[in-house]
């Protein structure tokens, strides 16, 4: 007796053809090419202001005031860099002032942020969670609200027209940096800390010998954030500094704007020179910085 067998039903949707491996590879290549095109277009949009700054720095005084403005200069005037830097304003002195303020502020940020970050991450206290939430709450206070009270305080201390109002507050911690370091510290295995404590290591030794060497990416990210923030600091500088010899580079750039005319070509030339330390520092510490930003905040404990 013969048993009639039925073919297995085709479960695929009607009207939809299967895609071969070659077709799937072509689709993936097309998607990848489209993603690259979008990234290149976005990069061009973000680079356009920088390219405008470079071309403006190479224009002549007449082309600087031409209307409608032209993107490319007719000839390159590299003397704008020398004229802007060595002109009537002492930009070499401004550079030294900016380096001193930035270096001391970075040191203050690291010293004042590492200690509370370690305490919030690895030391237990009754009000630890409340104090951590209170510290994060300070990030919601607008910066402008504290300008007048801080100025009154520093004026009574006699610190106006000195670098102290720009440097001393950096030694009292920055909530954002403390938060980032605390989050990174929590990713370090607790077993290392416990083993060090069993061996008799103090909290200072644990911090110095274990936590900081393992936290180089996070420290690099904090240092880069601090460097950029203090290097470009303008608001506090214009409030507290009075003497021209004590000005920083951002204040010197603002002095290019005259009452009747503005030397945009020289301003852009000096701006490019002042921007170079940030660009060089970023490319030197790029891998460490990106790794620190990526790993910071992974642990939510």
At 71-102, the pLDDT tens digits run: 888 888 888 888 888 877 888 999 999 999 99
**297 backbone φψ class: left, alpha, beta (φ>0; ψ -120 to 50):** left
Out of 138-142, 255-259, 296-300, which region has the weakest mean confidence (pLDDT)?
296-300
The pLDDT score that the predictor gives to residue 299 is: 47
Distances (CA, A) of 2 to 5, 6, 7, 92: 9, 13, 16, 102
Question: In the numeric block, which tokens belong to residue 300?
Answer: 């939510």
The whole-angstrom separation of Cα 213 and Cα 148 is 40
SS3 at position 86: coil
d(CA 198, CA 216): 25
Assign 15 a pLDDT band (cuts: 50, 70, 90).
very low
**Domains (range + CATH), the chain:** 28-80 (no CATH), 90-295 (1.10.3720.10)
How far does CA 70 lie from the centroid of its chain? 32
Cis preceding linkage at 68, omega within 30: yes
Looking at the chain, the whole-number percentage of residues with pLDDT higher than 70 is 88
Report the DSSP beta bridge partners of residue 262: 257
Q: Encoding tokens for residue 129? A: 């969670």
Mean pLDDT of 28-43: 89
pLDDT of residue 63: 81
Q: What is the pTM of this model?
A: 0.79
pLDDT tens figures, 184-194: 888 888 888 88
Dist CA 157 CA 110 (whole Å) = 25
Residue 12 has pLDDT above 70, yes or no: no
pLDDT at residue 261, as a whole number:
65
What is the predicted pLDDT for the residue at 4?
A: 52
Residues 241 and 247: beta-carbon distance below 8 Å: yes
CA distances from 96 to 170, 277, 285 (A): 19, 13, 23
Q: Which residues contact 111 (CB under 8 A, 6 or more apart)?
A: 171
Mean pLDDT of 107-127: 89
Mean pLDDT, to the nearest integer, of 146-161? 93
Give ∠ CA 292-293-297 in degrees, rounded to 5.
Answer: 100
């Amino acid at each position: 007796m013969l048993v009639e067998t039925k073919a297995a039903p085709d479960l695929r949707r009607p009207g939809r053809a299967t895609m071969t491996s070659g077709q799937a590879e072509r689709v993936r290549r097309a998607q990848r090419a489209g993603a690259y095109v979008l990234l290149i277009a976005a990069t061009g949009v973000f680079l356009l202001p920088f390219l405008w700054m470079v071309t403006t720095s190479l224009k002549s005084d007449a082309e600087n005031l031409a209307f409608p403005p032209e993107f490319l200069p007719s000839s390159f005037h590299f003397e704008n860099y020398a004229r802007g830097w060595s002109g009537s304003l002492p930009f070499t002195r401004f550079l030294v002032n900016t380096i001193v303020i930035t270096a001391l502020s970075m040191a203050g940020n690291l010293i004042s942020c590492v200690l509370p970050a370690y305490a919030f991450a690895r030391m237990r206290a009754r009000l630890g969670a409340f104090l951590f939430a209170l510290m994060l709450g300070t990030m919601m206070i607008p910066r402008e609200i504290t300008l007048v009270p801080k100025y009154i305080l520093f004026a009574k201390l006699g610190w106006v027209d000195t670098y102290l109002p720009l440097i001393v507050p950096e030694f009292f911690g920055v909530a954002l940096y403390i938060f980032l370091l605390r989050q990174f510290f929590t990713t370090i295995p607790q077993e290392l800390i416990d083993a060090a404590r069993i061996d008799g290591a103090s909290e200072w030794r644990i911090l110095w010998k274990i936590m900081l060497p393992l936290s180089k990416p996070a420290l690099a990210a904090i240092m880069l954030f601090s460097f950029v923030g203090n290097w470009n600091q303008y608001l506090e500088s214009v409030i507290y500094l009075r003497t021209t010899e004590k000005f920083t580079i951002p204040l010197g750039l603002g002095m290019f704007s005259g009452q009747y005319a503005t030397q945009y070509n020289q301003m852009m030339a000096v701006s490019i020179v002042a921007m170079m330390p940030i660009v060089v520092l970023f490319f030197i510490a790029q891998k460490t910085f990106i790794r620190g930003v990526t790993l910071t905040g992974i642990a939510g404990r």
